[in-house]
Chains A and B, each alone.
Chain A
Amino acid sequence: MKFGKRLKHQMQETLPSWRDKFLSYDHLKKLVRLISSAPAMLIGKSGKAKAQFLYVLNNEIDKFNAFFMEREEDFIIRHEGLRQRIRKVTDTWGPNDSHSSKIMYENEVGKLRKDIVDLHGEMVLLVNYSNINYTGLAKILKKYDKRTGALLRLPFIQEILEQPFFTTDLISKLVKECEGTINTVFPVEEEEERKIEVREAMTVTGEGIFRNTVVALLTMQEIRRGSSTYSKYSLPPINLPADLDIIRLVQLNPSIPIV
C-alpha cells in the first residue's frame, strides 16, 4: 500500500484531537506535481514555485512543532502528577493491613495502573507521530527533487533533524521512566499465568490507545516493506519479534477491522 494511504489510515485511527495535526501529504504531493508540470520552467517561475513549496513545508513544520511541544509539556506534567499520585496511594493505603483499605488500595492502584499505561501509550504515539511526519516529509522532498531536479532535500532534511518535533529524546526518556514506574505498580506474575490470561485479555481490547498502537506498528511494518523506489536510502524491513502474536490475535478479533 502506498504511503499516502497508510498515512491516511493512521490518521483516521488516531486519537481524535490529533487528526488534523499530521502532514498534509496529499496536498504536498499535488503541489509537487503542479510545480513539475508547469509549462515554461522559467528561472523566475521556478524560484517562486520553490518559495511557495517551502512556505507550505515550513507551515507544516511549524504545525508539528507547536503540537509536539504542547503535548510534550502535557506529558511532563501528567507524568509528574502520576508519580505524586502513586506516592500518595502507597502512603495512604499501602501500609495499612485492614481489609477495607486493601480494597481501596486495589481500586486506586487499578485506576492508577490504567492511567499510567495510557500515558505511556500516548507518549509512544507521539513519538510515532513525529516519526511518521518525518517519513512523509522525507518522501515529499525526495519527490520534489526528483521532479524538479533541485537539490532541496538534503539541506532541508538536515534542518528538520534539528527541529523540536523530531528531537524526541525527552519523550523517549519519559517513556523509559514511565516503564519503570509501571513496574513498581504492577504485581509480579508468573509466566504461565500470563499466558492463560492473554486470551481473556484479548476480549477487552477495544479501541483507543491500544488499537492505535497496533495500527501504528502495522503501519510501520507496511511502510518499510519495500516498494518500487526501494533504494539504499530506504529503511530495512521491520522485524517484529517472534512472540508478538498479540498483533495477529488482535487482527483476528472481528471487532477491530485493521486493514
Chain B
Amino acid sequence: MWNLGDSKAMSSAFPNLPTPLDVSYSRLPDSFHRSAQRENPMHSLLPQPSSLGNSYSSSSSLPFDSQFSSVYPHERYPQNSPISMSPSGGKSLSHTHSELQSTPVASYPEENKDMSWCPDSIEEFLHFPENVPDQNGLVDTSTGAIISDDHAERTDWSDLYPLISFDGALDSNWELSVDNVVDPKPEVLNHSSDILVQQPNIQQHQPAQSGEIFTSPDPESTAPSTKARMRWTQELHEAFVEAVNQLGGSDRATPKGILNVMKVEGLTIYHVKSHLQKYRTAKYKPESSEGACEKNLTPVEEMNSKDLKTMGMTEALRLQVELQKQLHEQLETQRKLQLQIEEQAKYLEKMFEQQRKMEDNKVKPTSSTSDERNKIGTSTPMDEGSQDASLKQNAQEPATHENHDPPGDADSGALPTKRARTG
C-alpha cells in the first residue's frame, strides 16, 4: 500500500508531519483544538472584555494553526470558480470573495471561533499566489499524463455533483497535492513562510478557501455581510436581558443600544439583532403554541391540554419527564463512551507511530532507541475496563490498521443483556 510506504519516507524527513497523504486534514485537529476551545473568549463576558484581544495575539503567534482553523471545516470548496495557481491568483481571490459575499446567511454557518482569527492569517493567505507558481512549475510536467486520464473518469463525479465543475485548473490542484508528497523536500524548505513548508498538501486547498476568510469574520469589519455565527451562552444571554431591561424592555431596546450596554468584544450588531428578534418572539408568543407548532397534536392531547385540571395531565407530564431523563442519561453515558473509544484509538495510533519510528531508528544504532523502547514498554493506557485487554494485545502488532482488527471481546460478558426486556 503506497500509503504506508510513503508514510515511512515522510516520517523520516518530517517527523512532525502527519505521514500519509490521506491525512492531509489531520493537521487541522491541532488548529481546531485551539480555536474550538470551549473557553473561547467569546463565551465569557464582561469580566474579560479584553480576552478576545488576547486570542488575537495568541492566534497570530500560531499563524499555522489559525490559518487552518479557517480552512476547516467551513470550507465551501468553491470549485465553480477556478482558483488558478497563477500569479493572477490575487485576482481570483477577490473574485471568490465577492462571490461568497452574496452567499445567503442560512448557508453560511460560522462558529464564533472565527472571531479569533487575526488579520495576520489573512495576510498569509495573500502570500500564496507568489509562492505557489513555484510548485506549479515544478509539477506541471508530471501531471500531464494523470490529468488526461482523469478527464475520462471525470464524468462520474459531474453526474453526482452537477453543480460542481471539475475544470482543468482544479485537476492540476489535486494532482499537485499528490505530487508534492514525492517532491524533493528542499524545494519546499526554501519557502519563507512556515506554513508552506509544513503542508505542501494543504497548500493546494488554501487558495480555494482563502476567499472564505475574507467573508468570515473579522468581527469588527464594517462589511454588513459579515455573517459569523455566534454561540450564545447563558451568561451572555443574561447580560443581554439585563441590557434590554436597562433600555426599557424588549420593545424599546434597540440592537445598537444593547450592543453598547453589553460591551462585549466581538459581538456584532448583527448577532444582537437576530437574538433580539428571537427574544421578542419568545416573549410574545405563548410557549404552548410554540411547542404545538413542532408537535403533531392528536385529538386526545388537544383535549387534555384544555382540561388542565385532570390529574392525568400532570401524570402524563411526569411520565414524559421521566422518559426524557432516561434518554438524556443514556445519551450522556453514550457520549462518554464514544469519547473514550476515540481516546483509545488515538493512543493506539500513537503507539503505532512510535513503533514505526523505532523500526526506522533500528537502522542507525543510537542510544535513543533504547529510550523509545522503554517509553513504549512502561507507558500505561488508562484503565477503562475490559476493552483495554484486547487493545493492549493488539498494540504489539505493527502497522495494523486499527479499524481492521478482528472483533474481539468487546462484548464483555459483564454486561447483562437486557435486550429481550423491552421486547
Contact = CB atoms under 8 A, between A and B. Distances in A.
B238 interface: yes
A247 B319 CA distance: 10
Contact of B408 (A59, A172, A200, A232): A232
Interface in A161-199: 161-164, 167-170, 172-175, 179, 182, 186-187, 189, 194, 197-198
A168 B331 CA distance: 10
A155 B23 contact: yes
B73 to A, nearest CB: 4
Interface in B285-323: 286-288, 290-291, 294-298, 300-301, 304-305, 308-309, 311-323
B412 A118 contact: no
Nearest to B321: A117
Contact of B160 (A31, A62, A213, A237): A31
Contacts of B330: 217, 220, 238, 240
B233 interface: yes
B69 to A, nearest CB: 10
Contact of A124 (B1, B241, B327): B327
B416 A151 contact: no
A55 B312 contact: no
A42 B146 contact: yes
Interface in B369-417: 387, 390-391, 401-412, 415-417
A99 interface: no
B174 A44 contact: yes
B292 to A, nearest CB: 9
B120 interface: no
A47 B21 contact: yes
A127 B312 contact: no
B422 A118 contact: no
Nearest to A217: B327
B143 interface: yes
Given A55-B75, A154-B402, A232-B387, A248 B327 contact: no
Given A43-B146, A65-B111, A182 B321 contact: yes
Majority SS of interface residues in chain A? Answer: helix
B346 to A, nearest CB: 7
A48 B170 CA distance: 9
A76 B175 contact: no
Contact of A213 (B315, B320, B423): B320
Interface string B95-122: 0000000000010010100000000000
Interface in A206-223: 206-210, 213-214, 216-218, 220-221
Interface stretch (A1-9, A67-75, A89-97): A67-75
Contact of A232 (B3, B401, B409): B409
A26 interface: no
A164 B317 CA distance: 30
Interface string A112-127: 0111011111101001
A145 B349 CA distance: 14
A208 B297 contact: yes
A26 B237 CA distance: 38
A209 B205 CA distance: 43
Interface in B160-193: 160-161, 164, 166, 171, 174-175, 177-178
A225 B337 contact: no
B263 interface: no
Nearest to A176: B328
B364 interface: no
A256 B290 CA distance: 23
B417 A248 contact: no
B77 interface: yes
Interface string B269-281: 0000001001100
Given A81-B287, A151-B20, A197-B315, A127 B405 contact: no
Given A77-B278, A159-B28, A186-B314, A43 B2 contact: yes
A201 interface: yes
B247 to A, nearest CB: 17
Nearest to B19: A151
B156 to A, nearest CB: 7
Contacts of A72: 231-232
Contacts of B178: 43-44, 47
Interface stretch (B53-61, B80-88, B147-155, B216-224): B147-155
A224 B334 CA distance: 10
Nearest to A115: B287
A202 B345 CA distance: 44
A201 B314 CA distance: 8
Interface string A121-159: 110100110010011001000100110011111111111
Given A44-B143, A113-B314, A117-B321, A81 B291 contact: no
Contacts of A164: 36, 111, 231
Interface in A15-61: 15-17, 31, 34, 38-40, 42-45, 47-52, 54-55, 57-59, 61
B418 interface: yes
B22 A152 contact: yes
A165 to B, nearest CB: 10
A251 B317 contact: no
A209 B305 CA distance: 14
20 contacts: A40-B149, A52-B161, A72-B232, A107-B308, A119-B287, A151-B22, A153-B403, A155-B26, A159-B25, A161-B342, A167-B38, A172-B332, A189-B318, A201-B315, A205-B316, A206-B300, A208-B298, A233-B345, A233-B410, A245-B422
Given A107-B308, A111-B286, A217-B330, 18 more contacts: A42-B149, A45-B149, A77-B279, A80-B238, A111-B287, A113-B317, A114-B288, A128-B327, A142-B403, A145-B401, A150-B22, A169-B38, A172-B328, A194-B315, A209-B291, A230-B411, A236-B412, A239-B416
